[in-house]
Chains A and B, each alone.
Chain A
């Protein structure tokens, strides 16, 4: 097999795994998705504020997911 074909196959595998992960995330219970959104907000807020955009990170009390 040519090196490029091997690489293409590996990349296709990586994209497939990425899609599978997104489908798995889509099936999470909604409260877990909300926790993920708040984590995203916390990560992104400093970047957006540095660009001059006013954003508010949600200040919600959420019960911890099982196992945390």
Chain B
């Protein structure tokens, strides 16, 4: 997985994406026990094109040029199916802006804060998201004041 993250870092250096951060189950796993997942969810901020369009196509093109192929909704990067998701709402934009710099072995990466992972799971609201909320509440070290602010800003405090 270290090689996968190196490829993502390379995409940032090349300006293909402005910023990325790991989210989803793998993101949560930085703070909780290992759970079964088959994808690496990566949220990205895309650079704006001249026409003001935001599209994932340049990212897919850059990955194809590096020899990585799309498999259904993912791109297989060094043996890991990566699902790339653009920041599609205010909560994700904030989560990406405030993601934590971490290391995977020797490779730097960015991971969403546990408070944002919890808020995103609340917002998404599927059964597996509710389970993630429970695990984050039980096992992650959450900054309660910060979490309260996130939930309030994004109108999730009644969930």
Contacts and interface: CB of A to CB of B under 8 A. Distances in A.
Interface of A: 22-23, 25-26, 28, 30-31, 33-34, 36-37, 40-41, 44, 55-63
Nearest to A39: B34
B79 A30 contact: no
Q: Report whether over half of chain A's contact residues are helix, strand or loop; otherwise say mixed.
A: helix
Interface residues of B, number: 26
Nearest to A62: B1
Interface of B: 1, 3-4, 26, 29-38, 71, 76, 78-81, 102, 104-105, 138-140
B62 to A, nearest CB: 21
Going nearest first, the 4 A-B pairs with the smallest beta carbon separation are A59-B79, A36-B34, A25-B33, A26-B139
Contacts of B30: 30
B31 to A, nearest CB: 7
B23 to A, nearest CB: 14
Given A33-B34, A37-B37, A55-B38, 14 more contacts: A22-B33, A26-B31, A26-B32, A26-B139, A28-B33, A30-B104, A31-B1, A37-B26, A37-B36, A40-B34, A56-B71, A58-B81, A60-B4, A60-B79
